């Protein structure tokens, strides 16, 4: 419009494209057919009914397809790609001029349809070739394409052949729909009056149109002077009077409409809150593909919440009650489908979005809290803050509200130390004037100083803002979920290892009269060949009103599409008592997820998780046995003692998983089955042997039963260490301590053991698992960082792009992109470097390899950034890969295409790029003359193993040792990097290593207990050299694994033997390791 006015082309003011293409009567008909009443839906419907090219509907919430099916009714032919007889259906529709809907398209379309999409007719437009057939082309034929994908990437040629229509519901559109719903329930008189008014207005318009057309027809047909035509003059007078009457009624109707709209507006906050909440839960699928919620189910929840809300007469009070009722209903409905780890993410996101909308949170401060970008590292001037915490505090000072916080912390160190070192700083008042800050500002300061307390602080924030009922532990109520289910709404159990969903369901079934014995409960464990059994069970159940549970549906991925259709078919006209229950395990990654979206959206989802904490795990382990088990063995004393130790071991290995890589390098599915089998083995071996075969039992339990799950060598060592600690003769002979403060129990009965656990088990702490208390701090810090990273990715793209922030995502990424390109170093000139020396020693070859790998990475960074820049300029099409890169850059993450070519790292983009520049500087220094640096930065290598191997190769060649009988030995010095001016005569000095789980005591030259709240400690320079294997010192040493990052597992580099005054098991259980990255 603006462009037309600039070039002085006359244009009607207030021109409405919808009004030009359709009329209110048609729109009203569409609304009656199920089309949502918001503007965007009306625009889509107008385009769909007028477009020349075939329409392609992007319709994730299924609102568009619902309208299409109602609009065309039985005349519509519905099919989908891959369906049996798909091409025949197309050919028939072409010949008879039918409307055909191809639903649920993917991102690719069968090439056989290309001639149809492009309308490539032959024989004077009478035929179209489909495959090898020439099909008659009826002019009335109409093709409608439909996809459920929310963000599909179609090829440009398909986009050119079709008219893309985005039926995805918008927040404003949904708000308009929900407003109509809430008003029709709360004030049916208003909604009825509005419908009558709309009908009258439409009738007026139709009558006016008829009168105008009739008048114009008579005027055009009049001959001579039309004043002589009495009938025409009378008709003119009548039209004039009717128009005047209509205009009066229109004015009256508009006044009434204004009053109705004013009354309706009072309920808008309810619709706005509900619309906001729908988009919060709709985004949860980004966390886990299992979290899919349909708009249809949300609408039912919305109506149920309105019905169940307390009755209040005053409109304002009623609106507040409705908003609270809807918010809490959505919270309960959603949280039962979430894993425990994701519930706080959902709660925080819900609270942040509600209070952003209320303008009680500054979007700039929220953005800072979520991103927490730290670009520069500053050494801490106060001893109670780490370098990381101080650097973060300095980063805060860029915000106006936090100016001078660094000076205050330094100047009033005593007050700040007291606050920072308190057990629960989130509950304490901040020192000085900072106590007056808002809740969100306090969260920002706390995240800088004590990131490990952020999960507790967020709970407090939600409790203060929304109420205590939102943070109380909610128990999954299967009875309530069952009441909400129906033949068309199954219940879907999302399983975790070690949980049996069937038990609770069988109890409920017994109560309601649905049992296997009565033939009303069908249990099908899916797997190879069980699909037919399941289909028969579903058919029988739908006819007889039975229950069916389909277990492990994730094992039959190819059949799930059929299952979705069967569920739909059997729910229509099936018995009202017919119910379907399904269970599946959550996939390890989104790529491995196989459950169809429709199946999840139509189901009530319930998560089942095992208990957490030593107390719950130890009780749960004991619940696998009973008094009869304890009395079964002839060696009762030995059996009971070992069985209890086994239960404690099981609780340790299961509970240790929550500490992440510090607990186990990988996530193992330890289950109660492992424990019960071990108990059977224990009984058999005790009965068959005169003495307790300790060695045999440890081997069977550690290497076969539990060890069967374990794939990592260091984890196997940990499992062995636990069993050597717990299963040895002193368990029976002496008073044996299973953990500090927890002795092995005396000879008790079954209930006595449960009572002993309740009374004697110390409070939950990492020490119960053999870990240092710092493991809890590290675990909570990682959990908090993951939580904020997820929250940042969940923010709506427009939420953090407001006038206050002043930048769109594209602008922000463009700034990052320009900054990175400017700082990015040039590639190493390999020809020039290789000519500097003819020496090709192992060290020089390592240097060449590192430079080559760095060149590959620098090239990828430069090319991908330049391509993204061209995409922004419109010179290149933005591909899915470029979109992913843009998204990652905006979230301060390292793009995947770079990570694949780089080294393992857990850093954010800002830290990662600073680290990259340091690596390049280090290589620049080394390539200057190719002489080995005085102290080598081991962390700076792509492949640190190659350098450590080079040390061994160099010394083995010099001394004439066979390489396979040579090993690396390390000596930890008392010096720092700056104390060395040249490399050693043999071997190499290494720096950049960090110890996790313990610290290095420089005075005694041994491993020592870590200091409290000091999660990692920097190692002094390490002198590494090679020696023959038979000369290696093994006494009083700990084989310490070296990993690239704290994620451990596949990041293993080497093993360094470090001096230790304590026994090895202590450090193995504590998960002590050296890391190359903090």
Q: Residue 771 burial by CB count (10 A; 0-12/13-18/19+): exposed, middle or buried?
A: buried
Tell me the average pLDDT of the chain. 88
The CATH number of residue 295's host domain is: 1.10.8.1220
Q: What is the mean pLDDT of residues 252-265?
A: 79
Other CB atoms within 10 A of residue 1076 CB: 24
Residues 6+ apart with CB under 8 A from 171: 275, 276, 279
Domain for residue 14, yes or no? no
4 confidence band (pLDDT: 50, 70, 90): low
Evaluate whether 834 touches 910 at the Cβ level (below 8 Å). Answer: no
Domain end position, chosen among 289, 324, 357: 357
Provide mean pLDDT across the span 670-684.
92
Is residue 777 assigned to a domain?
A: no
pLDDT tens-digit series, residues 618-644: 998 999 999 999 998 999 899 999 999
- Residue partners of 431: CB distance under 8 A and separation at least 6: 408, 412, 415, 416, 418, 419
Q: pLDDT at residue 671 above 80?
A: yes
Instruction: Name, of 102-116, 183-197, 206-220, 678-692, the range with top average pLDDT.
Output: 678-692
Cβ–Cβ < 8 Å for 398, 374: no
Nearest-angstrom CA–CA distance, 948 and 937: 12
* Rg for the chain, CA atoms, rounded: 36
Q: Are residues 464 and 436 in the same domain?
A: yes
What's the domain range around 821? Answer: 807-931
Considering the domain boundaries, does residue 1012 fall inside one? Answer: yes
> How far is CA 342 from its chain centroid?
8
Q: Distance between CA atoms of 599 and 911, rounded to whole angstroms?
A: 42
Please answer whether residues 816 and 853 qualify as being in contact, where contact means their C-beta atoms are separated by less than 8 angstroms.
Answer: no
Does 17 fall in a domain?
Answer: no
Sequence length of the chain is 1078
The tokens of 1044 are what?
């690239």
- Residues 926, 938, single domain; the answer is no
Distance (Å, rounded) from C-alpha 437 to C-alpha 404? 14
259 touches 555 (CB < 8 A): no
The whole-number pLDDT of residue 1068 equals: 95
**Over 80: is that where the pLDDT of 203 sits?**
no
Closest CA to 151 of 163, 170, 168: 168
Return the SS3 of 17: helix
CATH number at residue 1000: 3.10.490.20
What average pLDDT score do residues 98-105 get?
89
Token pair of 199, please? Answer: 């009908």
Both structure tokens of 425? 């700083």
- Per residue in 350-390, pLDDT tens? 999 999 999 999 888 998 899 888 777 788 888 888 888 89
SS3 label, residue 486? strand
Q: Which residues of 664-689 are buried (b: 16+ CB within 10 A; e: fewer)?
A: bbeebebbbebbebbbebbbeebeee
Contact 326, 277 (CB under 8 A): yes
792-799: average pLDDT: 76
pTM higher than the cut 0.95: no
Instruction: Indicate if the pLDDT at residue 211 is higher than 80.
Output: no
888-920: pLDDT as tens digits: 998 889 999 999 999 999 988 988 999 999 999
In this structure, the answer to whether residues 518 and 431 fall within a common structural domain is: no
Q: Give domain status of residue 272, yes or no.
A: yes
CA distance 445 to 736: 45
Per DSSP, the three-state class of 1000 is strand
Q: Does 856 fall in a domain?
A: yes
DSSP string, 337-358: TS-HHHHHHHHHHHHHHHHHHT
Q: Which residues are CB-neighbours of 150 under 8 A, at least 6 positions away?
A: 58, 60, 168
pLDDT at 422 over 80: yes
Q: How are strands ordered across the β-sheet holding 994-996? A: 1016-1018, 994-996, 1073-1075, 1037-1043, 1052-1059
In a domain, 784, yes or no: no
- Supply the pLDDT for residue 35: 86
pLDDT in tens, 532-585: 999 999 999 999 999 999 999 999 988 998 898 899 888 888 889 999 999 998
Query: Which CATH number belongs to the domain containing residue 59 in this structure?
Result: 3.40.50.300
Predicted confidence band of residue 800 (pLDDT cuts 50, 70, 90): very low
The residue with tokens 């081997």 is 699
In tens, the pLDDT along 214-232 reads 777 777 777 767 666 777 7
Instruction: Tokens 């009443």: give the residue.
Output: 37
Which class for 291: exposed (0-12), middle (13-18), buried (19 or more C-beta within 10 A)?
buried
Q: How far apart are CA 35 and CA 42, in angstroms?
A: 8
Q: Are 708 and 677 in contact (CB under 8 A)?
A: no
Distance CA 847, CA 929 (A): 11
- If DSSP codes are grouped into helix, strand and coil, which group holds residue 578? coil
Residues paired with residue 1017 on neighbouring β-strands, in sequence order: 995
Is the predicted pLDDT of residue 586 greater than 50, yes or no? yes
Same domain for 727 and 703:
yes
Last residue of a domain, one of 314, 336, 357: 357
Q: How confident is the model at residue 806 (pLDDT cuts 50, 70, 90)?
A: low
Q: How confident is the model at residue 347 (pLDDT cuts 50, 70, 90)?
A: very high
149 within 8 A of 107, measured Cβ to Cβ: yes
Give the per-residue pLDDT at 802.
44
Is residue 436 located within the same domain as residue 543? Answer: no
Do residues 632 and 759 both lie within one domain?
A: yes
Query: For residue 251, which of 240, 243, 263 has the smallest C-alpha distance?
Result: 243
Pick from 642, 641, 647: nearest CA to 614: 647
- Count H helices and E strands in the chain, helices first: 43, 26
One domain, residues 625 and 748: yes
Q: Per-residue pLDDT averaged across 414-421, rounded?
A: 91
SS (H, E, C) 397-452: CCCHHHCCHHHHHHHCHHHHHHHHCCCCHHHCCCCHHHHHCCHHHHHHHHHHHCHH
List strand residue ranges (DSSP E) for 485-619, in order: 491-495, 521-525, 547-551, 579-585, 604-607
Taking alpha carbons only, the member of 71, 131, 65 closest to residue 104 is 65
Instruction: Report which of 855, 858, 850, 820 is spatially closest to residue 940, judged by C-alpha positions.
Output: 850
In this structure, what token pair is assigned to residue 775?
């493991």
Cβ neighbour number for residue 970 with a 10 Å cutoff: 23
In a shared domain, residues 623 and 759: yes
Q: What is residue 345's predicted lDDT score, i.e. its pLDDT? A: 95
Question: Is pLDDT above 90 for 846?
Answer: yes
Residues 228 and 294 in one domain: no
Cα(601)–Cα(296) distance, integer angstroms = 9
For 47, the 3-state DSSP assignment is helix
What mean pLDDT do residues 60-70 have?
89
The pLDDT of 322-342, averaged and rounded, is 92
**Higher local confidence (pLDDT), 848 or 805:** 848
Tokens 């495959």 sit at which residue?
Answer: 131
Q: Is the dihedral of CA 330, 334, 336, 340 positive or negative?
A: negative
| Residue 142 host element (H or E) | strand 142-147
Yes or no: say if 666 and 715 are a contact pair by the CB < 8 Å rule. yes
Lowest mean pLDDT among 36-40, 654-658, 724-728, 1050-1054: 36-40
Return the pLDDT at 2.
Answer: 64
Q: Which residue, 607, 634, 657, sits at the end of a domain?
A: 607
Q: Given a cut of 50, is residue 1044 above it in pLDDT?
A: yes
CA distance 172 to 481: 30
In three-state secondary structure terms, 163 is strand
**One domain for residues 940 and 1076:** yes
pLDDT number for residue 509: 92
The whole-number average pLDDT for the span 328-353 is 93
Confidence of residue 1 (pLDDT cuts 50, 70, 90): low
Domain annotation covers residue 4: no
| Residue 583 and residue 631 in one domain | no
What is the rounded distance in angstroms from the CA atom of residue 287 to the CA atom of residue 291? 8
Q: Are residues 729 and 824 in the same domain?
A: no
Highest mean pLDDT range out of 3-12, 171-180, 282-291, 937-946? 937-946
In the chain the first and final C-alpha atoms are separated, in Å, by: 57
Contact by Cβ (8 Å): 144, 68: yes
| Tokens 């906001």 found at | 276
Give me the pLDDT at residue 245, please.
79
Say how far apart CA 762 and CA 784 lie, in whole Å: 26
Number of domains in the chain: 8
CA dist 23 and 563 (Å) reads 43
Beta carbons of 488 and 602 less than 8 angstroms apart: yes
What confidence tens digit (pLDDT) does each residue in 125-165 have?
A: 788 888 778 888 888 889 999 998 888 888 888 888 899 99
Strand partners, 1026: 968
């Amino acid at each position: 419009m603006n462009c037309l006015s600039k070039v002085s082309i006359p244009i009607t003011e207030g021109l409405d494209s919808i009004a030009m293409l359709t009329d209110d009567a048609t729109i009203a008909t569409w609304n009656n057919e199920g089309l949502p009443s918001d503007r965007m839906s009306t625009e889509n419907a107008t385009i769909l009914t007028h477009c020349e090219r075939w329409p392609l509907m992007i319709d994730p919430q299924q609102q568009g397809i619902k309208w299409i099916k109602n609009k065309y009714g039985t005349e519509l032919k519905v099919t989908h790609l891959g369906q049996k007889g798909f091409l025949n259906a197309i050919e028939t529709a072409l010949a008879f001029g039918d409307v055909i809907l191809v639903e649920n398209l993917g991102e690719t379309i069968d090439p056989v349809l290309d001639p149809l999409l492009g309308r490539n007719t032959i024989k004077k437009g009478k035929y179209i070739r489909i495959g090898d057939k020439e099909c008659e082309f009826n002019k009335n034929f109409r093709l409608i394409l439909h996809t459920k994908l929310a963000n599909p990437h179609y090829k440009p040629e398909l986009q050119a052949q079709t008219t893309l229509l985005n039926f995805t519901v918008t927040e404003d559109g949904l708000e308009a729909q929900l407003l109509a719903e809430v008003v029709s329930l709360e004030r049916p008189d208003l909604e009825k009056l509005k419908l009558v008014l709309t009908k009258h207005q439409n009738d007026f318009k139709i009558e006016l149109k008829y009168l105008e057309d009739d008048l114009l027809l008579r005027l055009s047909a009049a001959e001579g002077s039309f004043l002589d035509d009495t009938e025409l003059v009378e008709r003119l007078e009548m039209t004039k009077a009717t128009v005047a009457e209509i205009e009066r009624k229109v004015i009256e109707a508009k006044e009434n409409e204004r009053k109705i709209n004013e009354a309706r507006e009072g309920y808008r906050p309810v619709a706005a809150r509900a619309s906001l909440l729908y988009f919060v839960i709709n985004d949860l699928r980004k966390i886990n593909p299992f979290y899919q919620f349909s708009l249809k189910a949300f609408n039912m929840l919305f109506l149920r919440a309105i019905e169940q809300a307390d009755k209040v007469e005053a409109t304002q009070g009623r609106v507040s009650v409705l908003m609270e009722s809807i918010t809490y209903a959505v919270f309960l409905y959603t949280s039962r489908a979430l894993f425990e780890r994701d519930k706080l993410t959902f709660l925080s996101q819900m609270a942040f979005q509600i209070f952003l909308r209320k303008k009680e949170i500054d979007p700039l401060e929220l953005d800072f809290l979520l991103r927490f970008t730290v670009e520069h590292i500053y050494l801490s001037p106060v001893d109670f803050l780490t370098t990381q915490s101080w650097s973060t505090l300095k980063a805060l000072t860029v915000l106006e509200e936090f100016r001078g916080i660094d000076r205050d912390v330094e100047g009033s160190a005593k007050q700040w130390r007291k606050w920072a070192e308190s057990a629960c700083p989130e509950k304490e008042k901040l020192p000085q004037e900072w106590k007056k800050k808002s809740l969100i500002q306090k969260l920002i300061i706390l995240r800088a100083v004590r990131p490990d307390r952020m999960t507790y602080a967020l709970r407090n924030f939600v409790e203060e803002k929304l109420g205590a009922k939102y943070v109380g532990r909610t128990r999954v109520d299967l009875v309530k979920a069952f009441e909400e289910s129906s033949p068309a709404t199954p219940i879907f159990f999302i399983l975790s290892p070690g949980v049996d969903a069937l038990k609770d369901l069988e109890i409920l079934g017994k109560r309601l009269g649905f049992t296997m014995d009565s033939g009303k409960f069908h249990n099908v464990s899916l797997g190879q060949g069980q699909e037919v059994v399941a289909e028969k069970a579903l058919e029988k159940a739908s006819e007889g009103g039975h229950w069916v549970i389909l277990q492990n549906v994730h094992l039959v991925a190819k059949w799930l599409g059929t299952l979705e259709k069967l569920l739909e078919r059997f729910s229509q006209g099936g018995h009202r008592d017919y119910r379907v229950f399904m269970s599946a395990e959550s996939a390890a990654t989104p790529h491995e997820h196989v459950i169809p979206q429709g199946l999840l959206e139509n189901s009530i989802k319930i998560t089942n998780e095992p208990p957490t904490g030593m107390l719950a795990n130890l009780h749960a382990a004991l619940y696998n046995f009973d008094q009869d088990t304890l009395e079964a063995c002839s060696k009762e004393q030995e059996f009971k003692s070992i069985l209890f130790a086994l239960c404690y071991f099981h609780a340790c290995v299961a509970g240790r998983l929550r500490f992440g890589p510090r607990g186990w390098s990988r996530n193992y599915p330890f289950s109660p089955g492992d424990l019960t089998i071990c108990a059977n083995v224990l009984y058999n071996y005790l009965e068959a042997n005169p003495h307790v075969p300790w060695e045999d039992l440890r081997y069977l339990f550690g290497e076969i039963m539990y060890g069967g799950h374990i794939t990592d060598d260091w984890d196997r060592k940990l499992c062995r260490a636990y069993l050597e600690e717990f299963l040895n003769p002193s368990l029976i002979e002496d008073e044996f301590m299973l953990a500090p403060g927890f002795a092995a129990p005396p000879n008790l009965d079954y209930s006595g053991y449960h009572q002993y656990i309740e009374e004697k088990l110390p409070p939950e702490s990492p020490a119960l698992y053999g870990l240092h208390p710092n493991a809890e701090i590290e675990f909570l810090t990682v959990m908090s960082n993951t939580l904020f990273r997820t929250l940042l990715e969940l923010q709506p793209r427009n939420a953090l792009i407001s006038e206050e922030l002043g930048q769109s995502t594209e602008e922000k990424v463009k700034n990052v992109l320009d900054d990175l390109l400017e700082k990015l170093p040039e590639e190493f000139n390999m020809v020039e470097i290789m000519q500097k020396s003819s020496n090709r020693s192992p060290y020089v070859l390592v240097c060449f390899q590192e430079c080559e790998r760095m060149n590959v990475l620098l090239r990828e960074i430069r090319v991908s950034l330049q391509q993204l820049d061209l995409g922004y300029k419109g010179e290149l099409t933005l591909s899915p890969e470029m979109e992913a890169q843009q998204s990652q850059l905006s979230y301060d993450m390292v793009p995947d295409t770079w990570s694949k070519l780089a080294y393992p790292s857990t850093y954010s983009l800002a830290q990662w790029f600073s680290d990259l520049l340091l690596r390049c500087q280090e290589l620049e220094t080394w390539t200057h003359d190719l002489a080995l640096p005085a102290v080598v930065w081991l962390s700076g290598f792509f492949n640190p193993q190659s350098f450590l191997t080079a040390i061994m190769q160099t010394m083995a060649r010099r001394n004439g040792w066979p390489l396979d009988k040579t090993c690396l030995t390390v000596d930890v010095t008392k010096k720092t990097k700056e104390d060395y001016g040249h490399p050693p005569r043999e071997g190499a000095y290494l720096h950049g290593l960090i110890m996790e789980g313990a610290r290095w005591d420089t005075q005694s030259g041994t491993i020592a207990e870590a200091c409290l709240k000091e999660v990692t400690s920097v190692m002094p320079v390490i002198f590494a050299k090679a020696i023959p294997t038979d000369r290696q010192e093994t006494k009083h040493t700990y084989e310490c694994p070296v990993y690239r990052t704290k994620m451990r597992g596949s990041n293993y580099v080497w093993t360094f033997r470090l001096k230790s005054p304590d026994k090895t098991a202590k450090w193995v259980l504590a998960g002590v390791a050296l890391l190359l990255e903090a």
